Structure 1
Amino acid sequence: MKPNPTPAQGREQDKKQANQRTLRRLLLASVAMFAFGFLLVPLYDVFCQITGLNGKTGGAVSEHQGAQVDATRWVTVQFLTNTNADMPWLFEPLQHKVKVHPGEITKVSFSVLNPALKPMTAQAVPSVSPSEGAEYLLKTQCFCFEQQTLAAGAHQEMTLLFRVDPNLPPHIHTLTLAYTLFDISETHAIGQMAQVGINGGLSYE
């Protein structure tokens, strides 16, 4: 039969349990803060997409929303691609520019290759110039609406369906749609770790 713990031993055990709970909370808080740091740029870009600030474009629109075609007018749409620092992916448009009638649906494709020796996850963030025209370039389907994960050495083509709003100001004849590709692999992994913690991977006693 084990002897009952002394008051001093009981206090020591309570202290150890309290320290363990504090350590778990600190670990979870560290994961959350680390993830927040990685998300600052994507969150800013999402804000810009919603508000149109800095030429950022919004989300998907219906293919039939305002679908009247203006066959009397041509608009040139150019495509540029960039990658953020430390992003090794090769990313380029298969068509560098197209001429379209406002209101018609146009499909273009982009090529992406992950030359790294590990799987990676990326997020494409679009912007339009001139910024005055950003609200008139409407995407009905875009790879930028979701994260893209590629295995090591994998290649794929990504699709964009868009149209130019017929209400585009008449003095704008050319729109440039640029995509910047961000490496969010660590953010993606941290998000999964945090989800595990939320679902019970880190429990508090």
Structure 2
Amino acid sequence: MSRLPTAAAWLRRDNLRMMGKLLVVVVVMSCFGYALVPMYRAICTALGINVLSLAERQHVVKATDLRNTQIDYSRKITIEFDANARGPWDFKPAKRYLEVHPGELTTVMYTFQNSQTRQMSAQAIPSYAPKQATAYFNKLECFCFNEYTLKPGEQKEWPVVFVIDPKLPRDVKTITLSYTFFEVAGKGHAQAIAVPAAPKEPRT
């Protein structure tokens, strides 16, 4: 006569059945998760919905799409950089001129070195030629009008960040940005007087 399964045996069988069901659910859900992304993209593509992530958008975006629409690419303006050192020190721009589009953000560096054997305090003032261009020369960052103290032989470098207003009259093709660096009165030798930039003929 066969023995009936004990309660413990029935419990083990129930546990094994439940574990098997759970394993099947895990496998099915994993497969569904892997298949969900291509299925979702296929559905959204069919419906015309853009599902690209931000990283994907940045990857496929074209350089032409990143252009500043306020830049006037139909013309170029020659910007000449002038530096006047009113004293025994070195002051000069990194570049003598640049060609820029109106509306284009541009940066140029100026360097200044105190070549004396004493400490000095100085500052710079800007001027523009032709004068009518002054209202269209927008500086976002500039070292002008700030007072700087330099030790003997010390050298500093400053950026000038600017944008030429696209509303600049079309007959203006060359702008001269001139800086005069002079020693601050009462903190060294006699103060030098800044000389505005002389108008120059446009480049051909």
Shorter-chain TM-score tier: 0.5 to 0.7
Q: 2:157, 2:123 → 1: CA distance?
A: 15
SS in 1 for 2:135: helix
SS in 2 for 1:133: helix
The answer to whether the 8 Å contact 2:120/2:187 transfers is no
Aligned to 1:146: 146
1:75 partnered with 2:67: no
Amino acid at match of 2:131: S
Q: 2:170, 2:131 → 1: CA distance?
A: 15
Q: 1:68, 1:151 → 2: CA distance?
A: 43
C-alpha displacement of 1:119: 1.3
SS in 1 for 2:186: helix
The alignment's TM-score, normalised by the length of structure 2, stands at: 0.56
Amino acid at match of 1:77: I
Q: 1:158, 1:185 → 2: CA distance?
A: 22
The answer to whether the 8 Å contact 2:121/2:187 transfers is no
Q: 2:186, 2:138 → 1: CA distance?
A: 31
Higher relative contact order structure (alpha carbons within 8 Å, sequence separation ≥ 6): 1
Q: 2:136, 2:187 → 1: CA distance?
A: 32
Q: 2:169, 2:176 → 1: CA distance?
A: 15
RMSD: 1.6
> Where in structure 2 are there 5+ consecutive unaligned residues?
1-68, 189-204
Amino acid at match of 1:83: A
The answer to whether the 8 Å contact 2:80/2:98 transfers is yes
Aligned to 1:136: 136
The answer to whether the 8 Å contact 1:120/1:185 transfers is no
Where is the helix percentage greater, Structure 1 or Structure 2? 1
The alignment's TM-score, normalised by the length of structure 1, stands at: 0.56
The answer to whether the 8 Å contact 2:83/2:92 transfers is yes
Amino acid at match of 2:169: P
C-alpha displacement of 1:186: 2.2
Cα deviation per residue 1:23-46 (whole Å; 9 max; x = unaligned)? xxxxxxxxxxxxxxxxxxxxxxxx
Aligned to 1:156: 156
List aligned pairs for 1:1-205, cutoff 5 A: 68-84=70-86, 87-184=87-184, 186-187=186-187
Matched length: 120
Q: 2:149, 2:158 → 1: CA distance?
A: 12
Task: Give every structure 1 segment of 4 or more consecutive aligned residues whose post-TM-superposition deviation is greater than 2 Å.
Answer: 185-188
SS in 2 for 1:143: coil
The answer to whether the 8 Å contact 2:84/2:91 transfers is yes
Cα deviation per residue 1:92-148 (whole Å; 9 max; x = unaligned)? 111000000101110000111101111111110100000111111110000114112
> Where in structure 1 are there 5+ consecutive unaligned residues?
1-66, 189-205
Give identity over the alignment, percent.
38
